[in-house]
Structure 1
Amino acid sequence: MAKEEEEEWESTEKAFKDEFIPAWQKQITLRAMVTGLILSVVFNFIVCKLNLTTGVIPSLNVAAGLLGFAGIRTWTAVIDKFGMLKQPFTRQENTVIQTCIVASSGIAFSSGTASYMLGMSPYIASQADAGNTPNNTKKLSITWILPYLFVVSFAGLFSIVALRKMMIMKYKLTYPSGTATAYLINCFHTPKGAKLAKKQVRSLFQSFGFSFIFGAVQWIVARDEGCGFGSLHTFGSEAYAKKFYFDFSSTYVGVGMLCPYMVNISLLIGAIVSWAIMWPMIEEKKGDWYSAKLSATSLHGIQGYRVFIAIAMMLGDGLFHFAYMLVVTISSFTKRDPQNDYSGEEDEHDLDKKIRNDYFLKDQIPNWAVIGGYAGIALISVIVVPIIFHSLKWYHILVAYLVAPILAFCNSYGAGLTDWSLASNYGKIAILTFSYWVGLENGGVVAGLASCGLMMSILDTASGLMGDFKTGYLTLTSPRSMFFSQLIGTAMGCVITPLVFWIFNSAYKLGDPEGSYPAPYGLMYRGIALLGVEGFGSLPKHCVRLSIWFFLAAILINLMTQLLQKYETKYEIYRFIPSPMCMAIPFYLGGYFAIDMCLGSLILFGWQMYNKQKAKDFGPAVASGLICGESLWGIPASVLALAGVKAPICMKA
C-alpha cells in the first residue's frame, strides 16, 4: 500500500481517539428511534411508490445516513443552546438510525406488496386468465398482511447472525454498501465532514422543495385519467402510442442520477428492442399467433409475449448469477489465500484493526438466543402461515425454514463479495418449486407466491443485517445495538409497510398496465407461479420458443460480461454491455421511465464534466432530494384521492 493510503488508514480511528463511545444500550436512544420512525415512514412511501411504478430501487443508504445526521444534529444543537444536552451525537448513534431506517424500508421491498403479494390479488389474476380460481387468489387486506409480515420478517435476522465473526473478521468480506455507509458516517463526524454534510443537507432540501412543489403542480393539471404532464406527446403521437415519451417525473430523474449509467442505458435498450421492434412485429401476427378477440391485458394475447419473455430474461439472469455466486463462494473457500482477501483490511494500520476487533467482540449475542429465536419463529410460522394460506401445509413451511439458513449464508456471502443480494432470484425459484409441489387444483399459485415471500424475507434481511454489521465494525458500533436496531426497524417496517400500501391500494387501481401504478412485478410473479403449476402449454403461439431464446440470450450476455471482465482489461468493454435484468423491465412497462432515468444520467454526466468533485459530493444529495420530494407528495395526493377531491385542471396533449 502507498504511504499516503497508510496515513489515511492510520488517521481513521486516530481522528476519533477522544470520542466518547457510549455503551450499547445508550447507542439506541429515544431521539434516534423517533428520528428513525419519522424517516422510515418517508422511505417506505418512496420504496412503495418505486415498487408500484418501475420496480427499480436505487440504494437509499446515503439519503438515510444524511437525513439521520441532519435530524439529530439539529436537535442536539437546539438542546445544547439551552444547556440541556446530556449525551453528544456520536457516529454510533448515526449508524443505529441509518440501520433502523434501511431495515424498515427494506421490508417495503421484501414484503412483496408490489410483487408476489400483489400477484395473489383477484385483479391481477383476472389479467392472467389462467389460474383465476378462488383457491388461487387472495384478497389483499391488512388483517392478514400485517401478521404474516410479523411472522416471516424476523427469521432472517436470526438465521446467520452466529456467523458474523467469520464473515466480518475471518473472511473480511467487503459488503461494499456497508463499507461505503461506514465511510460516509465516519466522514460526517469529523469537523471537515460535518461542514460538508451541512452543505449536502442544504442541497438535499433544496432539490426536495423543488420536487415536492413540482409534484403538486403536476397534480393540479391532472384532473382525470390521461391528463397531466405525462400525457404530453413529447416525441410525437406514434412514439407516445409505443410508450416513448418524457414522463416529467423528478423521482425517475433522481433514481437515474443514483443508478449506474449502464443500468439506465440497459432500460432504454430494452424499451427500444421490445416496444419499437418486437411488439409491433408480433402485433402484425394478430389472428394467426393469437386470437384478435382477446383483450389487451390477456396473457393469451400480446400481453403474454410481453410478460413471459420478460420473465424468461429475468430467470436467465437470475440463474446465471445464482450459479456464478455459487462458483465464487466455493472458489473462495477452497483458495483461502490471504493475498486475495476481499476488503484490503490486511493493509490497515494494526491499531485501527485491533480497536475495531475489540469493539466488535465486546458485546456478544449468545448463540443459544440466536438458535432459540430462529427455532421459535419457525415453530410459530409452521402454525400461523398455513392458517393464513390454506394451500400451504405445515411440512411445506418446515422444509422452507430448514433450507433457508443455507441459502441465507450463500446470499450473504455473495453480497459481501459483490454487493449483489439475490433474494428475489431465490424467491422466484421458491415460486416454481412450491407451486409445482402443491399443484393448480390445490391452490398452487398462492402457495408458490407465499413461499416466495417467506424465502425473500429471510434472505434479504439476513444479507442486510450482515452488511450493517460491517458498517458497525467500521464505526465501532456494538453488534448488539446493531442487532436490536435491526429488530426495531424491522418491527417498524412490518407496521408501516402495510399501512402505506393500504393508502396506495385504497386511492389507486394498482396493477393497471395503463394506470399510474402498473406494478409490473405483480403480473410477472403470478406468471412465474402459473408456469410452475401449468407448464408452458397455456402460452400463445411461438411464445415458448421466443422465451427460450431470450432466456439463453440473458445467460450468454452475462457470460460474455464476466469473461471480458476477467480477461479483457485494456479497454474495459464489459462496462458497455447492457444488463439483461434491466432490459427485461421495460418489456412490460415501456420506455417512458427509462427516458426520465437517462435524463438523470445525462445531468450527472454533464455535472461531472463541469466539476467532478462537486458532482461526487452533492450528486447523491440532490438525487435523494428529487426522489424524496415527489414521493412525499404522494401522501397528500393519496389523502386527496381518498377524500374524492379532484384536481381543478386537465392538461392534455
Structure 2
Amino acid sequence: MTLTSCPFHGDLLVHADPVILGGFGSYIFAMSDRVASQTTELNDPQDIKNPKLGWLIGFLFLVSFLGLFSLVPLRKVMIIDYKLIYPSGTATAHLINSFHTPEGAKLAKKQVKTLGKFFVGSFFWGFFQWFYTSGDDCGFQSFPSLGLKAYANKFYFDFSATYVGVGMICPYIVNISVLLGGILSWGIMWPLIGTKKGSWYPADLKDSNLHGFTGMNSTFKSSNMQKFKFYIHSSLLCTCVCILIAIVQVFISIALILGDGLYNFAKVLYRTVPVIIANVRKGPATTLPISDDGNSITTSAVTSYDEQRRIDMFLKGQIPKKVAFAGYVAAAAIAIGTLPSHLPSTQNVLAFCNAYGCGLTDWSLASTYGKLAIFTIGAWAGADHGGVLAGLAACGVMMSIVSTASDLMQDFKTGYLTLASPRSMFVSQVIGTAMGCVVSPCVFWLFYKAFKDLGETSSEYPAPFGAVYRNMAILGVDGFGSLPKHCLTLCYIFFAAAIVICLIRDLVPKKVSGYIPLPMAMAIPFYLGSYFAIDMCMGSLILFIWRLVDKAKADAFASAVASGMICGDGIWVLPQSILALAGVKPPICMKFLSRTMNDKVDAYVATLS
C-alpha cells in the first residue's frame, strides 16, 4: 500500500516506488534547463541535463536494485529479532488475511467485520473531508485544534485516520518518542533559533540571489501556483535548505537518525559477525548464515502457535546467499563504474537506518538522505566541476537505495504475517521494480513531450520541487560553510546524544529501558512537524482507554480497527486523484482565522458590496 503525506510525491513519503523515487517532479526536473532558466546562478551547460527516455530508464535500473540486495541478509534481524512493526506492512497483512479467514473461526469472522466497518468508515471520512478543501489552507487538516499559535508551529490534530491507525499499531514508547521529538524541536528549539536572527544567520535576507529569501520565493510567485501555496509552504518549512532554520531542521534530524541507526547497525554486526564466521568454518551453506542462525539478538520465548508457524515459514523460504551476494556485487560494480565511487560504500548503513526508522514509525525519510547527498557530493565536486548536477544525481541514488530497502522490509513484514515465502516476496519486488523502471519513465516522457511548458512557473504543471531541489544543489556546492552558524555543532551534539541514549537503553534493566525514548522516533518530527505525532498519540490514547475498559476485546480487535483505518484512508487517495484529474473541485472551503483577521476580512468584503 502506498501512503503519502502530501500531494507532491517527490518529497514526504511512507512507502515509495520508482514512480516517486524517479524524481520526475524533483531532482530529475531540477537537472533540466527549464528549471535552470528560473535561477540566476550555476545554470551553465555543465550543470544541465535534460530528460531523455534512454538515460532515465538506465538510471533507474542502476539505482533501484542496489537497495533490494543491500538488506536481504538482515531481514531476520529486522523482522524476527527486533520485531519491528512496519505499520503499513502490518495493515496490509491484516487486510489480506481477512480475505482468507478459515470457515468456522468466530473470532476471525468478527475481526474481518470490524476491519470492514472501519475500512468503510475511514474511506467515507476521507470523502467527507474532501468537500471542505476547495482552497488553500482549508479543511479539517488545517483545523487549529490547539490554537493558532500552536498551529503555526505544527501542533494540531489533523483528523487523519491513517496516523491514528498507525498510532494504535505502534508501541506506546514509539508514539511518546515522536511527540517528545515534536515538543523539543517545534515547541522549543525552532522558536529559540528564530530569535537568533542577526547572530546565527543574517537578519536581512532580501538580496536577489538564490542564497536569500527573495531568490527562493521568486520561484513561486506565479499566479498559477497559488493552488499549491499551502503544500509548498509546508514543504519549504521542512525541506528547503534555502530557508536557514530549515537547514538546521534537516541536519539535526539526520544527526539523530544516523546516531541511532549507526549504533544499532554496529550492534547487529557485533552480534552476527561471529555467527557468520562460525558458519563459514563449519562448511559451505546454501543460505545466508544470519538468516539461518537460531540465536536472535533479542531472543524471546515464542508464545503462540501462530507465531511459531510464521517464524518457521519466514526462515524456510530462504534466498540463496549466492543470489543475494552476487546480485549486490553486480549492482554495486556497475554503480561504482558509473556513479561517484564512494556512494555505494555508504548506502548499506544508510539503508539500514532508513529501514529501521520505517519499521518503528512507518515513515521513510528517503528525501532526508537525499538532501544529505546533495550537500556532501555537491561540495565534493565543487561549482567548477558540475557540482550541481553531481549533487542532484547523488540525491537520486541515495533516495532510491534507502527507500527501496525499506520497501522490501515492509513487504517482508507483510509476507511474515501472511505466511508468504520471503523468496516469493523478493522475486515479486524485483519484477515490480523492473517494471517500474520502464513504465514510469515512459509515462513521464509522454507528459514531458505533450506539455512543452511542463516544469515552468507559468505552466499548469509547474513541478515546484524541481526548483526547490536545484536551489538546494546550488547551495550545496558551497559546502558546509554555507550552513548557518552552529549548525554542525548542534548536529554533533544530537548525534552523540542519540548514541548515548541507545547505549543507556541497552545497559539499564529491561523494565526501565521501556520508558526511555527512541532517538530514531524523536528525529522524525524535527523534519516533518508535530501534527502526525498528535494523531499517533491519539491512537495510543484510544487503545489505552480501550484496554482499561475491556483488555481482551482490545487485544483481539485493535489491529483490525487500525488496519481498517489505514487501508480505508489510503484507498481514498485513488478516487481523490481521479476527481482531480477530471477537474472536479471540492465545493466548500473551511478556513480558520483569528478574530483580528476575521474582522479585516469582513471589513474588506463590506467594501466590495
TM-score interval for Structure 1 and Structure 2 normalised by the shorter chain: 0.5 to 0.7
Q: 1:629 to 1:142 in 2, by over 3 A?
A: farther
1:442 aligns with one of 378, 385, 390? 385
Query: Does the aligned pair in 1 maintain the 2:127–2:572 contact within 8 Å?
Result: yes
Answer yes or no: is 1:290 the counterpart of 2:209.
no
CA contact (8 A) 2:10 2:21 kept: no
1:536 aligns with 2:480: yes
CA deviation profile, 1:477-497 (whole Å, cap 9, x unmatched): 666534422323334554687
**Alignment-mate amino acid for residue 213 of structure 1:** F
| Structure 1 residues 135 and 49, CA gap change in structure 2 (3 angstroms) | farther
Which of 530, 536, 559 lines up with 1:597 in the alignment?
536
Pick aligned residue for 2:567 from 622, 625, 628? 628
What's the CA shift string for 1:196-250, capped at 9, x where partnerless?
Answer: 4443333233222222222222222222213322344433333334443332332
| CA shift in 2, pair 1:259/1:418, >3 Å | closer
Mapped contact 1:360–1:476 kept (Cα < 8 A) = no
Partners of 2:328 and 2:4 lie apart in 1 by 28
1:231-250 equivalences under 5 Å are 231-250=142-161
The unaligned stretches of length 5 or more in structure 1 are 1-42, 58-101, 383-393, 513-517
* Cα distance in structure 2, aligned partners of 1:212 and 1:304: 37
Distance 1:276 1:127 in 2: 35
Alignment correspondent of 1:174:
81
CA contact (8 A) 1:258 1:623 kept: yes
Distance across 2 between alignment mates of 1:474 and 1:49: 29
The 1:501/1:450 distance shift into structure 2, 3 A limit, reads same
> Could you state the TM-score of these two structures normalised by the residue count of structure 1?
0.62
1:221 is aligned to 132
User: How far apart are residue 188 of structure 1 and its match?
Assistant: 9.2
Mapped pair 1:314 → 2:253? yes
CA distance in 2, matches of 1:642, 1:482: 33
1:588-610 per-residue CA deviation (whole Å, 9 max, x = no partner) reads 55433333333222222222322
Instruction: State which drifts further: 249-258 or 204-213.
Output: 249-258
In structure 1, how many angstroms separate the alpha carbons of the residues matched to 2:466 and 2:491?
Answer: 18
Change (3 A) 1:428 1:195: farther
Change (3 A) 1:194 1:157: farther
Task: Report the CA distance between 1:647 and its aligned residue.
Answer: 1.9
Change (3 A) 1:491 1:328: same
2:121 matches 1:210: yes
Is the 1:306–1:587 contact (alpha carbons within 8 Å) kept by the matching residues of 2? Answer: no
Distance 1:228 1:266 in 2: 28
Q: Which amino acid is the alignment partner of residue 607 of structure 1?
A: W
SS at match of 2:576: helix
Q: How far apart in 2 are the matches of 1:627 and 1:353?
A: 23
Aligned to 2:165: 254
Q: CA deviation at 1:313?
A: 1.4
* Residue 551 of structure 1: how far off its partner (Å): 1.2
In 2 relative to 1, CA 172–141 (structure 1 residues): closer, same or farther, beyond 3 Å? closer
Is 1:342 the counterpart of 2:326? The answer is no
Amino acid at match of 2:427: F
* Cα deviation 1:274-306 (Å, max 9, x = unaligned): 444444445455567421646486699996343
- The answer as to whether partners of 1:233 and 1:245 remain within 8 angstroms in 2 is yes
* In 1, Cα distance between equivalents of 2:314 and 2:141: 53
| Structure 1 counterpart of 2:111 | 200
CA contact (8 A) 2:167 2:538 kept: yes
Counterpart-to-counterpart distance in 2, 1:618 and 1:504: 45
Amino acid at match of 2:579: L
Verify the 8 A CA contact 2:382 2:477 in the aligned structure 1. Answer: yes
Q: Partners in 1 of 2:571 and 2:98 — Cα distance?
A: 28
* Number of the residue aligned with 1:557: 497
Gap change, CA 1:375 and 1:175, over 3 Å in 2: same
The AA in structure 2 aligned to 1:342 is: I
1:454 paired with 2:454, answer no
1-side partners of 2:185 and 2:245: how far apart?
8
Which range moved further: 308-317 or 239-248? 239-248
CA contact (8 A) 1:257 1:623 kept: yes
Structure 1 contact 378–398 (Cα < 8 Å) conserved: no
Check if 1:612 corresponds to 2:551.
yes
Work out the CA distance in 2 between the residues paired with 1:346 and 1:583. 29
Map Cα deviations across residues 151-201 of structure 1 (whole Å, 9 max, x no partner).
43234445686x69xx869x9973635999799899997859965444333
Secondary structure at the aligned position of 2:547 is classed as: helix
Hey, what does 1:566 align to over in structure 2? 506
The 3 A distance-change label for structure 1 pair 193 and 129 is farther
Count of aligned pairs: 529
User: Which residue in the other structure is 2:596 paired with?
Assistant: none
Distance 1:54 1:622, change over 3 A: farther
Distance 2:317 2:490 in 1: 46
Instruction: Note the alpha carbon deviations across 1:342-370, whole angstroms, 9 max, x for none.
Output: 37599999x98998699547xx8594x77
Alpha-carbon distance between aligned partners in 2 of 1:409 and 1:620, rounded to the nearest angstrom = 31
Using the TM superposition, give the Cα deviation of residue 459 of structure 1 relative to its aligned residue in structure 2, in angstroms. Answer: 5.4
Distance 1:130 1:191, change over 3 A: same
Write the letter of the residue equivalent to 1:258: I
Please state how far the C-alpha of 1:434 moved relative to its aligned partner.
3.0
Query: 2: CA distance between counterparts of 1:585 and 1:591?
Result: 9
Q: Select 2:60's aligned residue among 119, 142, 149.
A: 149
Counterparts in 2 of 1:564 and 1:144: CA distance versus 1, 3 Å: same
Separation (CA, whole Å) in 2 of partners of 1:451 and 1:109: 16
Q: Which amino acid aligns with 1:199?
A: K
Q: Which residue of 1 aligns with 2:266?
A: 327
Contact 1:54 1:589 survives alignment (8 Å): no
- Overall identity of the aligned pairs, in %: 41
Is the Cα–Cα contact under 8 Å of residues 215 and 630 in structure 1 kept in the other structure?
A: yes
Per the alignment, residue 575 of structure 1 pairs with 515
Query: Which position in structure 2 is the counterpart of 1:34?
Result: none
Provide the rounded CA distance (Å) in 2 between the counterparts of 1:276 and 1:140: 42
One-letter identity of the residue aligned with 2:485: V
1:138/1:544 CA distance change after superposition, 3 Å: farther
Give yes or no for contact 2:173–2:514 (8 Å, CA) kept in 1: no
Alignment partners' CA distance in 2, 1:598 and 1:373:
41
TM-score when scaled to structure 2?
Answer: 0.65
After TM superposition, the structure 1 = structure 2 runs for residues 505-524 of structure 1, keeping only pairs within 5 Å, are none
Question: CA–CA distance in 1 between the matches of 2:572 and 2:142?
Answer: 19
1:125, CA displacement in angstroms? Answer: 8.8
Are the structure 2 counterparts of residues 567 and 354 from structure 1 closer, same or farther at C-alpha, using a change threshold of 3 Å?
closer
